[in-house]
Structure 1
């Protein structure tokens, strides 16, 4: 299986602070990848560089065969809208729009008619346990419901890659477990790769592979399923 996304020799500095110091990572098509590391290690910067939100000072980012770190802003915006999905800690839903229009927003921004976009968005409400909440605004939703709406918005375009930055960080443990199960299950069903920053080892364990970032470098990686199998065999 080929790499859908890769970063090579990524460097990013903020004044005297080096956030990335030559980090390299590749994500396979359909792979679920968790990025972990201590505060200030560069893990969120790495995600944002891979997603085209931040341009690296050096190195390159490849989406398939296309180098995206050198794209113009219009092309990069279209790529983020049409081929990437985003789930953030706070959800970042538009408070003035009902849930169904928040989900449909990427489609409408791509030029789809509102009626068609909303109809396509509504298809996600059942699978994500949101039936009956289509017309509620974000302020009328619980934290878990709002985050599931954010997941629907990220997946409605059937993206190549979903980027999630601490998607369970603002949720209680039980709700966070439900949200991460939905996010990983639906990403797998679509064949979308997932790149997720998390500080929670339990959340990361839902992924196929975990990489550890420290001082702007990838310093370790492991596969949770293989690690669990080895631990079970030694008991």
Structure 2
């Protein structure tokens, strides 16, 4: 499979502390990569650098062979909207919008008419176990349901890569398992790669690969065979 996203020689410092100290990482099509490490190890910095949220001090980030870390902010923002999807620990859904409009939001931000965007968003509800919840607002959803809506929103633009930052951190164990199984299977089926930061080894085990980050370095790499 071809490389979708790669970072080479990534260096990022905050003051005298190296959050990333020359990290190399490659992510392939339909690949699911879990990034683990202790607090302050650099795992979130690595995710944010690969996602174009943080610019590296040195090194390169490439999306399908094209360098993106040196893009201007407007082009980088457009790329994040169109080609990346994001799932965060809190879901970050807009409380005033029903679930279907939360999912449709990235499409509307790209200029798609609301009616068309909502119709396209609704296609994700049955596959993600959300049938019947289209008009519920985030406050009317359980934690697991909200993360499923966030997953649908991340997939709505058919991105190359979905980034998930502790997507199960606020959920109980059973719901965490359900959400990560859904996230890994949905990205695999749509052809998107998944890059996920997690502190939970059980969650990470659902991914194809686990990357251990320690003190800004890659400290270990495990391969899993996922059915």
TM-score by length of 2: 0.97
Deviations 1:129-159 (A, max 9, x none): 1111111111111111111000000001111
Task: Kindly report structure 1 stretches of 4+ aligned residues shifted beyond 6 Å.
Answer: none
Residue aligned with 1:225, SS = coil
Deviations 1:6-65 (A, max 9, x none): 001111111222211111100011111111111110000000000001111111100012
Residue of structure 2 equivalent to 1:64: 64
1:215 and 1:8 map into 2 onto residues whose CA distance is: 17
Structure 1 unaligned residues grouped into runs of 5+: 227-235
Residue of structure 1 equivalent to 2:214: 214
1:144 and 1:194 map into 2 onto residues whose CA distance is: 19
1:145 and 1:122 map into 2 onto residues whose CA distance is: 15
2:46 and 2:94 map into 1 onto residues whose CA distance is: 26
Residue aligned with 2:164, SS = strand
2:99 and 2:17 map into 1 onto residues whose CA distance is: 39
Residue aligned with 1:55, SS = coil
Deviations 1:161-202 (A, max 9, x none): 000011100000001110001101111110110000111111
> How is 1:19-168 mapped onto 2 (pairs within 5 angstroms)?
19-168=19-168
Residue of structure 1 equivalent to 2:169: 169
2:5 pairs with 1:5: yes
Kept after mapping to 2: 8 A contact 1:24/1:217: no
1:61 and 1:147 map into 2 onto residues whose CA distance is: 28
TM-score by length of 1: 0.94
Aligned-residue RMSD, C-alpha: 1.0
Residue aligned with 1:148, SS = helix
Residue aligned with 1:180, SS = helix
1:162 and 1:115 map into 2 onto residues whose CA distance is: 25
Residue of structure 1 equivalent to 2:204: 204
Structure 2 unaligned residues grouped into runs of 5+: none
